[in-house]
Amino acid sequence: MHPNVGLIRRARRAAAGRVAVGGALAGALGLAALSGAGVAPAAGASRSPRAGRTTTLTVASLAAGDWSVVELGLSKGYFAQQGLKLSFVPMNSLPQEIPLMVSGHLDVGYGGDLAALEAVGHGIKLNIIGALERDVQRPQGSAAEIVVRRSSGISSFKQLTGKTVAVNALGTPFEFWAKAAIDAAGGDSAKTSFIAIPFTAQAHALASGQVDAISTGQPFASEAVAGGGRNLGDPFMKAAGTKSPVYTYWLATPSFVSTHRSALAGFMTAMNKAYAFANSHPSVARHFMAEVTKLPLSTVNADLPLPLWSGTVVRQTIAVDNSILVHYHAIPAPVNLSSVIAHL
């Protein structure tokens, strides 16, 4: 059974009202980190915005470099300008967020489209409401990279056959992109082992020999390189066959989109303002990235390749990921993308 199938089944039961929220949070998902997060049902907290009234959106937060632009947007007052207040729920990956979204305890999720498409392919209803960033090739590297130890002798994706690769969670883009890159290079990803290690612990896991490689994002790839690693390249660009694939997305359930379209449109308006500021003020973006990831500012320095933050949803790269999921038997048939991409 694919690791996400259990979460998908729980999401179905949550949607049907057959799973207690406490069980979904503490038992089924094992999210001890949420024990003090003050998660309250989103349905009661979120309202369609009206003049003079603040709307609260419950949003997934991750200690990831790209997510840091949200904090930048808050500091600039962009969400307040839209009449929005954000309440955050710390998470590790989109597969963990999905049961909370369908049970009404999370309004807006964050993550790669692969996990969303896999859930939709198994009957869960989700919408992509906007993008977060595009993965572009910078002189220093890119936003998604596979890193190995310099002393490992591994110099190609193909050589990851039979090795152990860490990803932030099983069933996420970093796993599927790595598989696609290994196979495209002539290797056999079926012989590669993937284990889940949080972004913040991956560099140590690589340096200590716990894993042979990490498939990760920034600034954690650069952290690993600084600690004795070697960058093999960007698996997503290899898989997508393009130099600027869309990397991560914002998501919500179709029912929430239909009742809170104005609030979500305001959310994306605020995010687009934050994207524009981050893209034009990279030093400020690096400051917030260091703050969110808890890495030293010296690690998140001018040598760190930044993404291109963008809210534009690119159907082409979603279609590539759709095909990847079918190829690796994660879903039985391609998902109808017209039912997934929402227009706010």
Of the two residues 273 and 139, the one the predictor is more confident about is: 273
- Mean pLDDT is highest, among 48-57, 94-103, 258-267, 318-327, for 258-267
3-class secondary structure for the chain? Answer: CCHHHHHHHHHHHHHCCCCCHHHHHHHHCCCHHHHHCCCCCHHHHCCCCCCCCCEEEEEEECCCCCCHHHHHHHHCCHHHHCCEEEEEEECCCHHHHHHHHHCCCCCEEEECHHHHHHHHHCCCCCEEEEEEEECCCECCECCEEEEEEHHHCCCCHHHHCCCEEEECCCCCHHHHHHHHHHHHCCCCHHHCEEEECCHHHHHHHHHCCCCCEEEEECCHHHHHHHCCEEEEECHHHHHHCCCCCEEEEEEECHHHHHHCHHHHHHHHHHHHHHHHHHHHCHHHHHHHHHHHHCCCCCCCCCCCCCCEECCCCCHHHHHHHHHHHHHCCCCCCCCCHHHCECCC
Phi-psi sector, 46: left (phi>0), alpha (psi -120 to 50), beta: beta
Residue 266 DSSP SS3: helix
Domains delineated in the chain: 3-136+252-339 (3.40.190.10), 144-240 (3.40.190.10)
**Under a CB-based contact definition with an 8 Å cutoff, are residues 58 and 106 in contact?**
yes
Tell me: the pLDDT tens digits for 125-176? 999 999 998 776 666 667 789 999 999 999 999 999 999 999 988 878 889 9
pLDDT attached to residue 52? 67
Helix 3-15 vs helix 113-121: angle between axes, to the nearest 10 degrees?
60
Q: What is the pLDDT of residue 218?
A: 82
* Beta strand 84-90 pairing with 55-61: parallel
Residue 243: per-residue pLDDT: 61
Please choose, from the candidates 242, 133, 234, 235, the residue with its C-alpha nearest in 3D space to the C-alpha of residue 176: 235
Give me the pLDDT at residue 2, please: 52
Q: Between 173 and 225, name the one with better pLDDT.
A: 225
Query: 17 or 183: which carries more pLDDT confidence?
Result: 183
Chain centre distance of CA 184: 23
Reported as a single tens digit per residue, the pLDDT across 186-210 is 999 999 999 999 988 999 999 999 9
